[in-house]
């Protein structure tokens, strides 16, 4: 019995030794090691075992630093280090419950870069500028080597541009993103919104056609916060408001170029958008005019023919005053003149341009200043005017002492130097003729 027990004990010891020997031989063949990726704070760092002959390993054990708490029992591990530092990471490999080998490494976790950038809200049609803001520390491990911009308008990704500019096709709000990658492969992303404002409408309206020199022109734009007008030559300004410009059209200029700039402030971002427009106003000259008459002096109640002419095509005439005038709407007209009068005519040509002219028609009796009633057939009676004076006229003749020798309504050119049938002595006499508000006076020399 003692021999049997001894033999069993020996066999167990030999078996255990052989097993230990096998494990030791296997352990000699194992090289426990690992690699890791994305060693960036705040991100998931990926660990992968590179242990040789992994098929014989039945279990792994990962732990960090002095804390032996197992993080993973697999050949791969994900772990997030929240702060940049050097961390001791250990990998143990097991066959069954037997530790084959282990590997410890100081894993350096790097601080990620910061994807920060500046920009300004801008206006449609202008370039939007973006400025990357680097970190203030001097750690070269944080240096950014890759910039990936996306402007949120479907135009694609723009890479390796530190401070880009971009034209947005339309107004609106766009989500702009920047992904930066450091020399250590660490990444960060920033997303921000940029507003692209529409441009104000710079549309010039008003008097733009059939403009005539010397006339008042009024043009306007929509009413914006700021409007600045300009012209290709100095203008005589009649009135200027924020949205309206009124000026006298210069004489002798064939055209005027007008420009305007309108401004609009978006106070939420203090962004000022502006737009400009210009227009060329063609200027038509005034029609020339010549006014004439067949007589420049007539007797009271006499008729005169008036005429207006121009080298332009005239579409409208208007004479004034129209009292005793035959047709005030014609180039040629006639009028009965009772007193000295200035006649005006306004004309309008085919372009709507206007001008005016005038002519003065004087009225005078032009009566004789001599009478010699001696029967020789020459100046036997005093001549006042052709046909005499109608009953609208009052005639008074005085001697040199102011005594009336004739007073009557109307006159037939028949005074023969008598008063009540008596011959008057030779000498100087004076006449006064009245017609309405008009008075005519003169001297008469009586000789026999």
Same domain, 319 and 391: no
Query: Is 223 among the domain residues?
Result: yes
Whether pLDDT at 164 is above 80: yes
> In this predicted model, which residue has the larger pLDDT, 435 or 22?
435
Residue 19 lies in a domain: no
Considering the chain, what percentage of its residues have pLDDT values greater than 90? 69
Q: Quick one: 383 and 414 in the same domain?
A: yes
Could you tell me the CATH number of the domain that includes residue 35?
Answer: 2.60.40.10
Alpha-carbon gap, residue 287 to 29, rounded angstroms: 115
Domain presence at residue 224: yes
What was the pLDDT predicted at 388? 81
CATH of the domain at 224: 2.60.40
Q: For residue 16, which phi and psi values (nearest 5 degrees)?
A: -65, -40
What pLDDT score was predicted for residue 66? 85
Does residue 14 belong to any structural domain of this protein? Answer: no
Q: Which residue has the higher pLDDT, 22 or 422?
A: 422
Q: Quickly state the pLDDT bin for 30 (edges 50, 70, 90).
A: confident
Choice between 6 and 190, residue whose per-residue pLDDT is larger: 190
Mean pLDDT of 48-57: 91
Instruction: Clarify whether residues 294 and 277 are in a common domain.
Output: no
pLDDT, residue 22, reads: 44
Which among 84, 109, 134 is the end of a domain? Answer: 109
Q: What is the pTM of this model?
A: 0.60
Shared domain for 296 and 357, answered yes or no, is yes
Q: Looking at the structure, tell me whether residues 127 and 104 fall in a common domain.
A: no
Residue 335 domain flag:
yes
Confidence of residue 25 (pLDDT cuts 50, 70, 90): very low
The arithmetic mean of pLDDT across residues 202-221, rounded, is 90
212 and 152, same structural domain?
A: no
The token pair at 326 is 């035959």
Residue 11 lies in a domain: no
Which one is predicted more confidently, 37 or 392?
A: 37
For residue 284, the model assigns a pLDDT of 93
- The span from the CA of 333 to the CA of 327, in Å, is 6
Residues 155-185 as b or e (16 or more Cβ within 10 Å = b): eeeeeeeeebebebeebeebebbbbbbbebe
In a domain, 235, yes or no: yes
15 assigned to some structural domain: no
Question: Of 251, 284, 317, which marks where a domain is finished?
Answer: 284
- Single residue among 363, 381, 416 that ends a domain in this structure: 363
> How high is the mean pLDDT of the chain?
89
Q: How many distinct structural domains can be found in the chain?
A: 5
pLDDT at 71: 93
* 151 or 251, greater pLDDT: 151
Residues 120 and 193 reside in one and the same domain: yes
Give the pLDDT score at 201.
Answer: 92
**pLDDT per position as a tens digit, 99-153:** 999 999 999 999 999 999 999 899 999 999 999 998 877 677 778 999 999 999 9
Same domain, 253 and 312: no
DSSP state of 126: S
Q: What would you measure as the largest C-alpha separation in the chain, in angstroms? A: 211
Secondary structure element (H or E) that encloses residue 55, with its range: none
Q: What's the pLDDT score for residue 5?
A: 52
- Using the predicted structure, report yes or no on whether residue 21 has a pLDDT greater than 90: no
Strand 438-446 versus strand 370-371 pairing type: parallel
Domain that holds residue 246: 205-284
Give the pLDDT of residue 13.
47
pLDDT of residue 15: 45
Are residue 57 and residue 91 in the same domain, yes or no?
yes
Residue 26 pLDDT: 45
How far apart CA 175 and CA 164 sit, in angstroms, is 15
């Amino acid at each position: 019995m003692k021999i049997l027990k001894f033999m069993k004990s020996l066999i167990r010891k030999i078996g255990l030794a052989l097993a230990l020997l096998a494990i030791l031989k296997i352990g000699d063949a194992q090289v426990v090691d690992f690699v890791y990726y994305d060693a960036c704070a705040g991100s998931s760092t990926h660990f992968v075992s590179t242990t040789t002959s992994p098929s014989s390993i039945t279990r792994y054990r990962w732990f960090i630093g002095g804390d032996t708490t197992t993080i993973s029992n697999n050949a791969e591990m994900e772990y997030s280090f929240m702060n940049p530092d050097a961390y001791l990471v250990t990998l143990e490999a097991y066959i069954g419950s037997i530790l084959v080998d282990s590997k410890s490494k100081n894993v350096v976790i790097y601080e990620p870069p910061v994807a920060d950038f500046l920009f300004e809200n801008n206006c449609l049609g202008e370039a939007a500028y973006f400025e990357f803001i680097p970190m203030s520390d001097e750690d070269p491990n944080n240096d950014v080597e890759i910039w990936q911009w996306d402007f949120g308008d479907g135009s694609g990704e723009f890479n390796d541009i530190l401070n880009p500019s971009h034209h947005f096709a339309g107004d609106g709000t766009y989500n702009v993103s920047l992904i930066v990658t450091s020399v250590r492969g660490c990444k960060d992303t920033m997303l921000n919104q940029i507003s692209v404002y529409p441009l104000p409408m710079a549309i010039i309206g008003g008097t733009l056609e059939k403009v005539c020199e010397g006339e008042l022109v009024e043009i306007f734009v929509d009413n914006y916060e700021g409007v600045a007008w300009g012209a290709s030559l100095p203008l005589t300004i009649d009135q200027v408001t924020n949205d309206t410009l009124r000026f006298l059209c210069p004489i002798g200029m064939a055209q005027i170029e007008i420009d305007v700039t309108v401004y609009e402030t978006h106070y939420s971002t203090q962004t000022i958008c502006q737009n400009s427009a210009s227009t060329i106003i063609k200027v038509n000259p005034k029609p020339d005019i010549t006014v004439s008459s067949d007589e420049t002096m007539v007797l009271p109640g006499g008729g005169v023919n008036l005429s207006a002419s121009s080298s332009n095509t005239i579409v409208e005439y208007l004479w004034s005053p129209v009292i005793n005038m035959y047709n005030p709407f014609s180039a040629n007209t006639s009028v009965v003149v009772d007193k000295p009068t200035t006649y005006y005519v306004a004309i309008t040509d085919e372009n709507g341009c206007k001008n005016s002219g005038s002519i003065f028609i004087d009225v005078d009796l032009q009566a004789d200043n001599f009478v010699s009633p001696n029967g020789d057939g020459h100046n036997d009676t005093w001549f006042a005017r052709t046909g005499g004076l109608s009953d609208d006229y009052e005639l008074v003749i005085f001697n040199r002492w102011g005594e009336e020798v004739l007073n009557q309504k109307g006159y037939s050119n028949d005074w023969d130097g008598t008063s009540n049938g008596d011959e008057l002595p030779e000498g100087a006499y004076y006449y006064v003729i009245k017609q309405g508000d008009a008075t005519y006076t003169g001297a008469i020399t009586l000789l026999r």
